[in-house]
A and B are shown apart, each in its own frame.
Chain A
């Protein structure tokens, strides 16, 4: 019996946690084939939301995930409501505060499901009790949409209960009061941004006028305040930024995503080969010759890398800076350790193999400026290129095994010159880097995000002093320069967030809630940094050029909300009106 004691609840809750809307390695937001949450047999981890919006470029045809995939987890919400309704009746089966703690955990789970709905659809029906069929009529079961603001408020209230009821610690992978606070700081920050920016940049429509999407602008500061308060409550807790190897900041930042004992982790999800839950991050984000394969297909853009500032590849006369070795750009440019731990640059190594990224050769250095050179089509340049890394020119490889991808050849070589390093388990031996062999945990909430939520809320509330404190903690650990008060504005806070939380499935939602996606993805094309070897000079140069697939990314304003799934509209007419322009 489920409510007979801890053992029954462990099994019941395991099923709820298995379906929690954690956008982890296996989350697939769309593109060719199936899409969804918690896909246990999903191996193509490169179908990553970041690859639709310019954090990376990847296998997507462009910004083609705006329509969503019909996520509608009311079955899971019902499973949680069942706990909330019934567990108080069985208090005698649990010791001490356990019944309350479990109830708090259920409130956290319910808030998480609603968060994953409201950030997609805006207002959705708030169902907070167990519905029964056929005891209830169809008419009763068809619940209309609540206003968007009501849903965010409901989430905040559930998380307050969760915080009150739960203990301060929990078994690995389960919620405690700080997990609830972490979600609260994230959710309330989203709501504040939607109130502030969604009331300026929006799509007209019936759902908008009815408040089903959008939050009144005057509610922004109260949501930001709630986000800040939740984050602030972490002070005095045992969570802190991972800093086990302070003298080697690259290793420190790399290991933060791999060390299961990290004190930064607030909520993780574990995977294992024996339970057949392992993922494929290692197999699908590095070149095939460094893994068992099969391939990588998503690559960080130069625009992302330049969030740390321009790379020193051009001199004052628009001529390329020459490097003796491929790795010199990475090693001699005083790059922030966090950047090097987030992205593999040309010349970096993994499992004893080098990212030998090279787009081609120049017999002699070209004469014009870089601007003139990259404006020419590849065929019209003096450079020698190939689509096959095994093609040699006077005994020398023309392109590297790691790339660059040539037009018409497969995209399992880099399109931008970069590869993802975050979460790559570098200590794994090559023979065990195949599909479904990666077991590193996904960190859904970590303390750095809480600090960034707090910094952003503080900046929105004109408390730049507090934002500065948070950013400098993050930058200290990252190995970056400290900021001063005059540096801190909302752009700086956002940029820090984009750098720190890269590839962790935040960027897509951040661009949406800031309502900047339609501006950044305005028929945009993204760039890479392409290494070439100049034979006569025995030097390497790097040219910033459009990524080699040359794809177009456009975000329509209507994508700030996904359409209510068609099947649900057919079952429940009270879900109308659909979101604007669908």
Chain B
């Protein structure tokens, strides 16, 4: 009798936890411009650790969107440690603690390793010439600059992991230099992409990759190029 009572009690126990109905969104802001950080889908991750649930929470990550914002609408309410990781910016050392509920918002200010200035392009027939300068908001302690490359795609979703290999990775220029050893000429870059396919519209940006833990790239804005 006692056993069956216990068993039936167990069966009627209801999961009365709230569903994942909280949300968290915000902007990743480039402190040098005040604009959204130049990133690409998933390039930066906002890492969440739900400290109100466990002392050793399993990390979950919200991938950045291509416009430098992030949003997740299926989170459990609670207190989270939040930290943006993975992009080409100086590590954010003081982890923010945020109470995430419905419609929670938080913006992060990030200092890029490198900024891309004076980005111009010139289409000569099917050959695209890209010119730009790179500068470092903070020079000391910058990770090694490993390579510079264009990213070309047929959609506006363009960047590392979303580009046409022959126009992008195949046009990589290896640098492998420390910032302090780069001459002004090294910092003024010209990339050429020959033989773009005729009659197509391409979306193009350039990136400079540094050798930090994530090997991620600082990216330019995206331009549209119509090849006649």
Contacts and interface: CB of A to CB of B under 8 A. Distances in A.
Interface string B51-86: 000011011000000000000000000000000010
Nearest to B163: A523
A210 to B, nearest CB: 14
Interface residues of A, number: 21
A449 interface: no
Contact of A525 (B147, B165, B213, B214): B165
Interface string B206-219: 00000011110000
B56 A581 contact: no
B58 A569 contact: yes
List of 7 A-B pairs having minimum Cβ-Cβ separation, nearest first: A203-B213, A576-B56, A573-B56, A204-B213, A523-B169, A557-B213, A557-B215
B215 A556 contact: yes
Contacts of B212: 204
A355 B59 CA distance: 50
Contacts of A573: 55-56
Interface in B141-198: 147, 165-166, 169, 195
A581 B58 contact: no
A203 B55 CA distance: 23
A580 B213 contact: yes
A552 interface: yes
6 contacts: A550-B165, A552-B165, A556-B214, A558-B213, A573-B55, A581-B213
Contacts of B55: 573
Contacts of B166: 375
A561 to B, nearest CB: 12
Q: Is the interface of B mostly helix, strand, loop or mixed?
A: loop
A518 interface: yes
A523 B56 CA distance: 34
Contacts of B26: none
B107 to A, nearest CB: 23
Contacts of A204: 91, 212-213
Nearest to B211: A201
Interface of A: 202-205, 375, 518, 522-523, 525, 550, 552, 556-558, 566, 569, 573, 576, 580-582
Contacts, number: 34
Contacts of A580: 213
Contact of B214 (A202, A552, A581, A582): A581
B215 A518 contact: yes
A465 B23 CA distance: 65
B221 to A, nearest CB: 22
B199 to A, nearest CB: 15
B55 to A, nearest CB: 7
Interface of B: 55-56, 58-59, 85, 91, 147, 165-166, 169, 195, 212-215
Contacts of A550: 165
A525 B164 CA distance: 13
A414 B85 CA distance: 40
Contact of B58 (A203, A375, A523, A566): A566
Contacts of A202: 213
A202 B56 CA distance: 23
Contacts of B213: 202-205, 557-558, 580-581
A522 B165 CA distance: 12
Nearest to B149: A523
A558 B214 CA distance: 8
Nearest to A580: B213
B92 to A, nearest CB: 12
Contacts of B58: 566, 569
B37 to A, nearest CB: 19
Contacts of B169: 523, 525
A407 B59 CA distance: 39
A202 B55 CA distance: 26
Nearest to A205: B213
A202 B213 CA distance: 7
A557 B214 contact: yes
Contacts of A203: 213
Contacts of B85: 581
Contact of B56 (A552, A556, A569): A569
Contacts of B215: 518, 522, 556-557
A205 B47 CA distance: 14
B212 to A, nearest CB: 8
B115 to A, nearest CB: 23
Nearest to A581: B213
A432 B166 CA distance: 45
A387 to B, nearest CB: 22
Contacts of A566: 58
Nearest to B47: A581
Nearest to B54: A573
Nearest to B55: A573
A205 B91 CA distance: 11
Given A556-B215, A573-B56, 6 more contacts: A522-B147, A557-B213, A557-B215, A573-B55, A576-B56, A581-B213
B211 to A, nearest CB: 8
A263 to B, nearest CB: 46
A565 to B, nearest CB: 12
A552 B59 CA distance: 27
Identify the interface centre among B56, B91, B165, B212: most chain A CB within 10 Å of its CB. Answer: B56
A518 B147 CA distance: 13
A550 B170 CA distance: 13
